Amino acid sequence: MTAAQVVQSEWTKIRSVASTVWTLSLAVVVTVALGMLISALSSNEFDNMSTKDRLSFDPTFISFAGMSLGQLAMIVFGVLVVSNEYSTGMIRTSLAAVPQRGTFLFSKIAVATALALAVGLVTSFVAFFLGQAMLGSHRAEIGDPHVLRAVIGGGVYMTLIAVFSMGVAAMLRSPMLSLGILMPFFFLISNILGNVDATKKIGRYLPDQAGSKIMQVITPIDDDTPYGPWGGLGIMALWVIAVLVGGYVLLKRRDA
């Protein structure tokens, strides 16, 4: 058995279930649509803003505002790709066919990651261009300094969110439990921790808070974050590696 065979098999698996299509389409639609809406609103509000806010105005980052909601669809995608195996009982058939559990898990994650990256990049570019169109005269251009990095980074960010969810699902196995932890964490808890002064210093090391730094082009004036865009992405990547290792170790040890 070669890894290439298993990758091909995992591609057949992922393309033959409906959840792949609807989770990924939802991620694109929600991210782009919400980004456009917020961009349009921000453009109208610009004239009423304080000077400080105007100086911090980051049209690129604003066009990615839809990701706060769109990433939830990416989380569902990542969780379902892995936990479907357990909730359906397919895992026993899969591991009987591919008893090398590391090959099985990482082939699955590689295929899902490649797909998430493709969708993430498309989402990110579409969200950027349509968002800028809404911003009118306050728009950023793709050729402006750091903008391309932010746009590609947006796609990578969405991908890493999905991979993080895959790792968590590999550890927890149950789709309900995984979603029940990840959705409120990324939608509420992380935001609260990152915005309350007392917990801000810890909150900014959470995967989404750190990772989203890559999408910033203009650093807010009073920002004292001790890492830059690449540092933030690195912190997020460390989180992802940690959960993947956890998922692998548990899969290796557990009875299927």
Partner 1 sequence: MIELEGLTKRYGEKLAVDDLTFTVRPGMVTGFLGPNGAGKSTTMRMMLGLDRPTAGDVRIDGQHYDRLKDPLKYIGALLDAKAMHGGRSARNHLLCLAQSNGIPGRRVAEVLDTVGLTAVARKKAKGFSLGMGQRLGIAGALLGDPRILMFDEPVNGLDPEGIHWIRNLMKSLAAQGRTVFVSSHLMSEMALTADHLVVIGQGRLLADTSMADFIAQNSRSYVRVRTPQRERLLDVLHLAGVTVVESGSGVLEADGGSAEQIGELAAQHQIVLHELSPQQASLEEAFMQLTAGSVEYHAHTDAPYDVPPPAAQQAQQPQPRQWGDDWNRSRR
- Candidates 6-14, 31-39, 162-170, 175-183: pick the segment binding partner 1 (CB under 8 A): 6-14
- Candidates 94-102, 110-118, 129-137, 240-248: pick the segment binding partner 1 (CB under 8 A): 94-102
Cα Rg, the chain, nearest whole Å:
19
Angle 67-88/101-135 helices, nearest 10 degrees?
160
Per-residue exposure over 16-37, b if at least 16 CB sit within 10 Å of its own CB, e if not: eeeebeebbebbbebbbebbbe
Q: Per rule CB under 8 A, is residue 21 in the interface with partner 1?
A: no
Rank residues 4 and 198 by Cβ distance to partner 1 and give the closer one. Answer: 4
**Secondary structure (3-state) at 173:** coil
- Candidates 61-69, 96-104, 117-125, 138-146: pick the segment binding partner 1 (CB under 8 A): 96-104
- Candidates 5-13, 111-119, 147-155, 164-172: pick the segment binding partner 1 (CB under 8 A): 5-13
A 10 A CB-CB count for 122 gives 14
* 55: phi then psi, degrees, rounded to nearest 5: -70, -30
Per the CB < 8 A criterion, the answer to whether 214 and 195 are in contact is: no
Q: Per rule CB under 8 A, is residue 62 in the interface with partner 1?
A: no
Size of the residue set binding partner 1 (CB under 8 A)? 30
Length of the chain: 256
Q: Per rule CB under 8 A, is residue 249 in the interface with partner 1?
A: no
Q: Per rule CB under 8 A, is residue 111 in the interface with partner 1?
A: no
Contacts with partner 1 by CB under 8 A lie at 1-2, 5-6, 8-10, 12-13, 16-19, 84-85, 88-100, 255-256
